[in-house]
Structure 1
Amino acid sequence: MLVSTRTEYSKAQIILHWLVAILILAAWLTGDNMGRVLRARFDSGTTGFEGSTPHVWLGCAVFVLILIRLVLRRVQGAPGALPGSTEMMEKAAHWGHRVIYLLMIAVPALGALAWFGGVRAAGEAHETASNALLLVALGHAVLAIWHHAIRKDGALNRMRLSQKG
């Protein structure tokens, strides 16, 4: 991915970041009992968007917004390393973001494969991957707060909507 000399993300990138974060949390919170709903769907032979739940709609929205985020990141790049970052920290951040993006793509794709494609195994993989995504995102948030509060390197300032520019 392109890394620019900018110190902050664009407003569009920031809005998408927070919107996707909220939608992922909402999708996770509305995922309770989806296994039962999916089994009933398989048994009834329902297809397409018929019988879709808020969880399904949230997942579809996340998938579309993640694709937009990827295009935007490819076009606009991302800020360079934080001040005082070591090479190890930069590599960890790089790979951490790759894992988050991979999970943000895989989770809704697996859910869609289960819901729209009728693939039972994809539903189980979707549940496992969604829990992994939530844990990785939580780690991401904890590290961002650690960078901001302990290292005082302005990590969170790069994702604030009230920034200049």
Structure 2
Amino acid sequence: MSHAPAYSRLQIALHWLIALLILAAWVTHEAMEDAFETRLESGVLTPNPHAILGLAVFVLVLIRVFVRHRQGAPGPVPGSSAMAEAAALWGHRLLYLLMILTPIGGAITWFGGIEALGEGHELLGNALMIVALGHAVVAILHQLVLKDGTMTRMLRPRG
């Protein structure tokens, strides 16, 4: 993967859209328990906002991975330490892993009717929210305290 000077408009749009969809999915997860019970009792799959949001997140994350592979991403922040770069690398890997595994777990639970996987899916969803919150806090720290332009790369597209 090459290092681009900044993210593209598409990468930025996908980033923020996925973030909003993940938040919306997390907010709507409480209603899912009743919907799942109804699904198990009736055997009928009905449209469900949480499931639709999760599917959208999964598809958009796959598109995002493909676009990132094709277009690259900005390189290390100038002056950052090797430990900071390793933390950023592994933090992003964890985010991507959770953004992929959480919807897969939810889909298997919902479409397969496997109730035992529901708690694992919920655990993954909560872990995703915690890691995403940490990601946001670190981005804000970079922008407001370190003033190194890290967050600006996800706000201003390359020309």
Q: After TM superposition, list the pairs within 5 Å mapping 1:39-118 onto structure 2.
A: 39-46=37-44, 50-118=45-113
Cα separation, 2, equivalents of 1:22 and 1:54: 14
Cα separation, 2, equivalents of 1:137 and 1:3: 25
Match of 2:17 among 16, 19, 22: 19
Q: After TM superposition, list the pairs within 5 Å mapping 1:145-156 onto structure 2.
A: 145-156=140-151
Match of 1:122 in 2: 117
For residue 29 of structure 1, what is the amino acid of its counterpart?
Answer: V
Q: CA deviation at 1:3?
A: 4.1
Runs of 4 or more off by more than 2 Å in structure 1? Answer: none
| % identity of equivalent residues | 53
Q: Give unmatched runs, 5+ long, in structure 2.
A: none
TM-score by length of 1: 0.92
Count of residue pairs brought into register by the alignment: 159
Cα separation, 2, equivalents of 1:164 and 1:133: 28
Cα separation, 2, equivalents of 1:20 and 1:67: 11
Post-superposition Cα deviations, 1:28-63, rounded to whole Å, max 9, x if no partner, equal: 1111131232122112222xxx31211111111111
Q: Do 2:139 and 2:150's aligned partners in 1 also have CA atoms closer than 8 Å?
A: yes
SS in 2 for 1:33: helix
Cα separation, 2, equivalents of 1:81 and 1:164: 16
Q: CA deviation at 1:164?
A: 5.1
Q: Give unmatched runs, 5+ long, in structure 1.
A: none
Q: CA deviation at 1:132?
A: 0.4
Q: CA deviation at 1:123?
A: 1.4
CA RMSD, aligned part only?
1.2
Cα separation, 1, equivalents of 2:100 and 2:28: 18
Match of 1:160 in 2: 155
